[in-house]
A and B are shown apart, each in its own frame.
Chain A
Amino acid sequence: MIGFLLRRALWFAFTLWAVATLAFFLMRAAPGGPFTAERSVPPSVELALRARYHLDWPMWKQYLSYIGPLELGSRGAFTGDGTQTFGGVLAGDFGPSFKYRDFSVNDVLAQSLPVSLGLGLTALFFAIVIGVSAGVLCALYPRGKIDFGVRLLATAGVAIPNFVLASMLILLFVFLLPLLPVAGWGTLQHSILPAAALGAPVAAYIARLVRAGLFDALAQDYVRTAIAKGMPTHIVVLRHALRAGILPVVSYLGPATAAILTGSLVIEKIFFIPGTGQHFVNSALNRDYTLAMGVTILYTGLVFFLNTVVDVIYTLLDPRIPLEEA
């Protein structure tokens, strides 16, 4: 287990480095820059701005100063006329944002990440509760009306994009039945519609996985034995079959988290939620080099970490699966 985690940590570091490096050079290869605007600034002002953010340095120097806490010039990095050097990613300092000039990237992420995590976790919770219950219902009453209905809904849930679902939910629960706030963030009511819209496709997928997993498990010998012993069906399903049947769901949680994180940018826009998802897209469009880098590195780390957690949970649920192959 410890060896596995160590190896994972090494890969983690390598992945982060590779992603950061690629993103760094890709961002700067895109046409236009952070100070390109419809009202052009005088050339002298643009020079001063570029100097302030060290965009006048050669690329390798910018890269090194971004990555690590290196002393690279007497003129302090990112400070205008101060002397302190910008910390660099290795020191946990993502630098100042180019677009939100009154904030550092660390500030921006600290403000928005709890919001996105709150939204994502609520959506995930919603998806798991609905998805697993629906899947279990199907397994309890196979090939009946409930099974058919759930499968229909699940297919629809996977097929309908979340922004369409969001619009339908708004129409239904805000304008037809005025129950919930239409947009914004801050209270539990605010999170219901966006979490449902974000979690629905995941719930649909989970329902299908659970159903298939349970059907599989119900055909196993140990389940047949349990039924033959005279154990009631619902106990067999919930206690014995579900443990094996839920395994595909656990391995799906990694990709599901990624889907929720990246899917949240549309939902955040529609429901006006100040999360990280919007920065993911907008920072690239704004050529906000530092913020784009920060969000990319953060998401890489997050997805990698969650996948590792899923792998560990996987072996805990089913000891037959060795960690190495997970």
Chain B
Amino acid sequence: MAPAAALLAGIGWAMAVASQSHRPPADFTFNNNSEVSTLDPASVSSVPEGRILRGLYEGLVIRDPKTFAILPGAAESWEVSDDGLRYTFHLRPSQVWSNGDPLTAEDFVSSFRRVLTPTTASPFADFLDAVVGAEDFQAGRGPGGNANWDSVGIRAPDALTLEIELGSARPYFLQLLATTALLPVHMKTLREMQARFPGSWNAEWLKPENLVTNGPYTLASRRINDRIRLERNPRYWDVDHVAFRTIDALAVEHWGTALNLYLTGGCDWLDGSVPPLYVGKLRDREDFRLGNSPYLGLYFYRINCTQPPFDDARVRRALSIAINRDVICEKLLKAGQEPCYTFVPWGKLGPYESPLAEEQTLARARRLLLDAGYSAERPLPRFTVHYNTAESHRDIAEYVASVWRLALFADVGFANQEWKVWLDSQNRLDYQISRSSWIADYPDASSFLGIFTSDNPNNRTGWKNASFDSLMMRSDRELDPQRRAQLLAQAERILLDEMPAIPLYSYVSQNLVNPRLGGFFSNPLGEQNPKFWYFKSDDELWQDRRKRVGAMEIVEARGPAAGLYSKAAESGAR
């Protein structure tokens, strides 16, 4: 009897502990796909962290969720000198942190300084390398042999003015300032925690009870692999435009579980790549149709250009031409992905347009191969296609290999590896052809083309080209959008002629989203700013549905019928 009693007592205890952390559902719940690795803006990059960070902090400028145009954030206005070298930001007066401390230009100076300090180990320090003296400071070089902050071009002449001086112009500098890497952090808390917890301050300052932020939301609670609860920040300068009082971000990794939650009302938005099996079932639902749009991601195969026969550009081009991307998109993926022949997905990005890829005919592929000395009689030596273990990657690799076998007489094998092993092999150039993908850091063609410069750690193909490098460098400093687009196009032309990698398809964003959610825009960076979200009223929902073209299956729009929208929206200011 005693063991049974102990067992029951144990269950009771565990349940009590578990239910302590159980809270009523938030105004809005979404699936963030995975646990965020940290809430420190200086050290994270991925999409899941970005969504939380944009809720917690606000940078100098923010992006319009629909157009990506730069909007005022913590800075209400700014001036850029004609040569594009000097930026002057004017902060909103009487702005405060969530603990009531005033938010000043000095906060931005110290946050940027933190990003550039080597011991912070920020992967994004290079976002600031155009700033005068920044590279020297980061490398510990200075006038006296020591790193000297005074020579870095980031200054706060007064509490509300921030000046940034660049050594060479960066046409997309404002876009960099809108990334999560350059959000301000409350250095006072950080220093306090350093003093109080010398061994663990790295973790302490980010705990819900300690974290001080300046964005529309504050961190209420956090449980690993469960949820992050955000609460509206009453001290936020624009709190009247923030609709939801609470937001929950779930960390569901299993897509089937996330779908189950969505279908039973456990969450109102989920994204991620939908398994092809489900696409057919979801295709006609309004909550899926509306959420699909181009995404700035490229699926491609890296080629190890250091080994024969792949050191010959003709072989690489032949391999690329032979693949029929339509089959991959329509037969294997099915969710609206677009065949891609260029290194910038969708072939265009803002003012930029990719040059045309060469003619895609089998005859041409064989011709190129013949020129390189390979034919049916003298086939390519055996090689392997390398991918990280996942069903979709395997399917695509099998299709591509079958094409190369049948059309180019190649003997192709496979090597699939677990994620980190695969990354490691790619870094060491221990592969021949390797599956890859790339997501834009910021909406600009250079975010894709730049990875193929000789010294970029993400190159991982062994391909080097001096004229490509110099074109990329010149484009980085060119302020005239037209001329800049030309330089980038020339650079991409070189890539297309050399084919150090084989682009296969462009990504689409795939969202399942409650039709009642407003302020949500399916966009090419998968970037959302929780500040803009609200629930539409029945009236607005009806209007939106009426405007729509084409038949879709109407689904239940969960949420308060009267809407849950910002005060500004109620007064018709939207």
Is B382 located at the chain interface by the 8 A CB criterion?
no
Which parts of A78-134 form the interface with B (CB within 8 Å)? Answer: 78-84, 86, 96, 99-104, 107-108, 111-112, 114-115, 117-119, 121-122, 124-125, 128
Is A41 located at the chain interface by the 8 A CB criterion?
yes
- Nearest 5 A-B pairs (CB), nearest first? A118-B14, A32-B420, A186-B22, A40-B457, A48-B121
Q: How far is the CA of A265 from the CA of B458 in the complex (A)?
A: 34
Q: Residue A32 contacts which of B120, B123, B125, B421 (CB distance < 8 angstroms)? A: B421
Q: A82-B201, A272-B250 are in contact. Are A278 and B39 (CB under 8 A)?
A: no
Residues of A within 8 A of B252 (CB): 183, 272
The reply to whether A86 and B15 form a contact with Cβ atoms under 8 Å apart is no
The reply to whether B8 and A107 form a contact with Cβ atoms under 8 Å apart is no
The reply to whether B18 and A100 form a contact with Cβ atoms under 8 Å apart is no
State the Cβ distance, B280 to closest chain A Cβ, in Å. 19
Residues of A within 8 A of B43 (CB): 101
Interface bin, chain A:
35 or more
The reply to whether A278 and B139 form a contact with Cβ atoms under 8 Å apart is no
- Cβ proximity bits A26-43 to B, threshold 8 Å, 1 near / 0 not: 000011110011111111
State the Cβ distance, B364 to closest chain A Cβ, in Å. 32
Q: Residue A102 contacts which of B39, B253, B263, B266 (CB distance < 8 angstroms)? A: B39
Residues of B within 8 A of A122 (CB): 11, 14
Q: Residue B457 contacts which of A42, A86, A125 (CB distance < 8 angstroms)? A: A42
Q: Residue B11 contacts which of A44, A76, A118, A272 (CB distance < 8 angstroms)? A: A118
Residues of B within 8 A of A121 (CB): 7, 10-11, 14
For A43, give the chain B residue with the smallest CB separation.
B457
State the Cβ distance, B137 to closest chain A Cβ, in Å. 13
The reply to whether A183 and B7 form a contact with Cβ atoms under 8 Å apart is no
The reply to whether B119 and A80 form a contact with Cβ atoms under 8 Å apart is yes
The reply to whether A36 and B424 form a contact with Cβ atoms under 8 Å apart is yes
Q: A40-B458, A191-B15 are in contact. Are A102 and B203 (CB under 8 A)?
A: yes
The reply to whether A36 and B427 form a contact with Cβ atoms under 8 Å apart is yes
For B211, give the chain A residue with the smallest CB separation.
A102
Q: Residue B203 contacts which of A103, A178, A185 (CB distance < 8 angstroms)? A: A103
Q: Residue A101 contacts which of B22, B45, B120, B203 (CB distance < 8 angstroms)? A: B203
Is A213 located at the chain interface by the 8 A CB criterion?
no
The reply to whether B123 and A45 form a contact with Cβ atoms under 8 Å apart is yes
Q: A36-B424, A96-B203, A278-B225 are in contact. Are A270 and B118 (CB under 8 A)?
A: no
For B23, give the chain A residue with the smallest CB separation.
A186
Is B223 located at the chain interface by the 8 A CB criterion?
yes
Q: A39-B45, A40-B457, A181-B264 are in contact. Are A272 and B254 (CB under 8 A)?
A: yes
Q: How far is the CA of A196 from the CA of B443 in the complex (A)?
A: 48
Q: How far is the CA of A86 from the CA of B40 in the complex (A)?
A: 22
Q: Could you jot down 26 A-B contacts, CB within 8 Å? A: A36-B423, A40-B458, A42-B126, A45-B125, A48-B118, A48-B119, A79-B201, A79-B202, A96-B203, A101-B37, A101-B38, A101-B40, A104-B200, A115-B14, A118-B11, A118-B18, A119-B14, A121-B11, A181-B264, A182-B266, A183-B266, A269-B257, A270-B257, A272-B261, A275-B225, A287-B420
Q: How far is the CA of A279 from the CA of B223 in the complex (A)?
A: 13
The reply to whether B203 and A182 form a contact with Cβ atoms under 8 Å apart is no
- Cβ proximity bits B129-157 to A, threshold 8 Å, 1 near / 0 not: 00000000011000000000000000000
Q: How far is the CA of A295 from the CA of B119 in the complex (A)?
A: 29
The reply to whether A82 and B18 form a contact with Cβ atoms under 8 Å apart is no
Is A240 located at the chain interface by the 8 A CB criterion?
no
Residues of A within 8 A of B37 (CB): 99-101
Q: A41-B123, A82-B201, A121-B11 are in contact. Are A187 and B19 (CB under 8 A)?
A: yes
Which parts of B375-426 form the interface with A (CB within 8 Å)? Answer: 418-421, 423-425
Is B81 located at the chain interface by the 8 A CB criterion?
no
State the Cβ distance, A296 to closest chain B Cβ, in Å. 18
Q: How far is the CA of A119 from the CA of B106 in the complex (A)?
A: 49
Q: A102-B38, A104-B203, A115-B18 are in contact. Are A82 and B427 (CB under 8 A)?
A: no
Residues of B within 8 A of A274 (CB): 223-226
The reply to whether A182 and B264 form a contact with Cβ atoms under 8 Å apart is yes
Residues of A within 8 A of B436 (CB): 38
Q: A82-B194, A124-B7 are in contact. Are A44 and B45 (CB under 8 A)?
A: no
State the Cβ distance, B207 to closest chain A Cβ, in Å. 7
Which parts of B241-294 form the interface with A (CB within 8 Å)? Answer: 250, 252-254, 256-257, 260-261, 263-264, 266
The reply to whether A86 and B266 form a contact with Cβ atoms under 8 Å apart is no
Is B122 located at the chain interface by the 8 A CB criterion?
yes
The reply to whether B420 and A30 form a contact with Cβ atoms under 8 Å apart is yes
Residues of B within 8 A of A170 (CB): 260
Is A244 located at the chain interface by the 8 A CB criterion?
no
Residues of B within 8 A of A52 (CB): 119, 121
Is A212 located at the chain interface by the 8 A CB criterion?
no
* 13 more CB-based (< 8 A) A-B contacts, given A125-B7, A272-B257: A32-B423, A39-B123, A39-B458, A96-B203, A101-B38, A101-B43, A114-B14, A185-B18, A186-B22, A269-B253, A269-B254, A272-B250, A272-B261
State the Cβ distance, B452 to closest chain A Cβ, in Å. 13
Residues of A within 8 A of B418 (CB): 285
